């Protein structure tokens, strides 16, 4: 998200275009697609990765990835990806990724993460990203995750008690939205933002009616266990956002504050995998 001057922000929110379109310009940065989904004669879909996806594994791991499309209540068709890392997963992660990547770029990460914590991973591209139609917006991202959950539940028979909602950066907006409506095994909020205005204007201390992505208000209505992860040197979404989300969520477990980590390198620290393993094995795994 890019910072704006106060006068620019006032103009954008008080005059056309609508706040929803402003939110899209501030938050969504869809990359050039790094994959495409091809329809097969038998009705299935196949995944084709480009060089820009930077796939790090062999064809064997690629065979464990299934892709398909589903339709949202907003009329868009979104691309979905199921990464089968194990036949007996502890949980399935419904992963909502960050704002400047798509499923192709995330595919190797999903394989690596899932195999290390013994979980399968299900993810989707927001409207306007990768193989998904439409335009990215706040309202569309809510419809997108609702459709993704419906597809995951119906196609793979995953019950809520075996589901972890994992949101990263802008993806925390989608995860919190669904977590308000669905009690699940756990919720991971990785580099969460309090709200759009608080990112653009760090001195903002209240939630305005036109404030997009109101995580700080919504997280208080999440009944599932919540793990907050944030780098202390995050240059995009300040560490104070993660701290405030942690303080507002009703059922938190011990957070992970990664000393010295920024916005895009938390996963490189050993404490990241260690904390996720403890979350799945102890915090929610023993319940």
Q: Are 229 and 274 in contact (CB under 8 A)?
A: no
| Structural domain span for residue 188 | 6-283
In a domain, 1, yes or no: no
**What is the CATH number for 200?**
3.40.50.1820
Q: Tens digit of pLDDT for each residue in 77-126?
A: 999 999 999 999 999 999 999 999 999 999 999 999 999 999 999 999 99
How many structural domains are present in the chain? 1
Q: Tens digit of pLDDT for each residue in 139-182?
A: 999 999 999 999 999 999 999 999 999 999 999 999 999 999 99
263 a catalytic residue: yes
Q: Are strands 120-124 and 77-83 parallel, antiparallel or unpaired?
A: antiparallel
- Name which residue leads in pLDDT, 6 or 16: 6
Terminal-to-terminal C-alpha distance of the chain: 37
Reported as a pLDDT band with limits 50, 70 and 90, residue 18 is very low
Q: Are 30 and 128 in contact (CB under 8 A)?
A: yes
Q: What angle do CA 282, 225, 174 make, to 5 degrees?
A: 125
5 three-class SS: coil
- From the list 169, 191, 224, 244, the catalytic residue is 169
In a domain, 210, yes or no: yes
Alpha-carbon span 211 to 248, nearest angstrom: 18
Read off the pTM.
0.91
Q: With CA atoms as reference, report the closest residue to 32 among 124, 131, 144.
A: 131
- From the list 115, 263, 265, 271, the catalytic residue is 263
Does the pLDDT at position 15 exceed 50?
no
Q: Tens digit of pLDDT for each residue in 206-244?
A: 877 878 899 999 999 999 999 999 999 999 999 999 999
In a domain, 146, yes or no: yes
In a domain, 169, yes or no: yes
- From the list 102, 234, 238, 283, the catalytic residue is 234
Reported as a pLDDT band with limits 50, 70 and 90, residue 205 is confident
190 a catalytic residue: no
In a domain, 132, yes or no: yes
169 a catalytic residue: yes
């Amino acid at each position: 998200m890019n910072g704006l001057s106060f006068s620019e922000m006032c103009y954008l929110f008080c005059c056309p275009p609508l706040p929803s379109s402003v939110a899209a310009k501030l938050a969504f940065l869809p990359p050039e697609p790094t994959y495409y989904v091809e329809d097969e004669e038998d009705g299935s879909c196949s995944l084709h990765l480009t060089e820009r996806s930077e796939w790090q594994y062999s064809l064997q791991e690629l065979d464990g990835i299934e892709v398909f499309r589903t339709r949202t209540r907003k009329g868009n068709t979104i691309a979905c990806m199921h990464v089968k890392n194990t036949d007996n997963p502890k949980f399935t992660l419904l992963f909502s990724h960050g704002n400047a990547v798509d499923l192709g770029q995330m595919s190797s990460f999903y394989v690596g993460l899932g195999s290390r914590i013994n979980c399968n991973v299900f993810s989707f591209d927001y409207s306007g990203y990768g193989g998904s139609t439409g335009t990215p917006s706040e309202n569309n991202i809510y419809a997108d995750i609702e459709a993704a959950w419906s597809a995951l539940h119906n196609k793979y028979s995953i019950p809520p008690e075996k589901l972890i909602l994992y949101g990263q950066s802008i993806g925390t907006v989608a995860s919190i939205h669904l977590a308000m409506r669905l009690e699940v095994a756990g919720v991971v909020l990785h580099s969460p933002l309090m709200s759009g205005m608080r990112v653009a204007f760090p001195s903002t201390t209240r939630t305005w009616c036109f404030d997009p992505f109101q995580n700080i208000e919504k997280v208080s209505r999440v009944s599932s266990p919540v793990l907050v992860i944030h780098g202390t040197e995050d240059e995009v979404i300040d560490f104070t956002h993660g701290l405030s989300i942690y303080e507002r969520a009703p059922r938190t477990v011990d957070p992970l504050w990664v000393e010295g980590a920024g916005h895009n390198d938390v996963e490189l620290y050993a404490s990241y995998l260690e904390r996720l393993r403890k979350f799945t094995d102890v915090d929610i795994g023993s319940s």
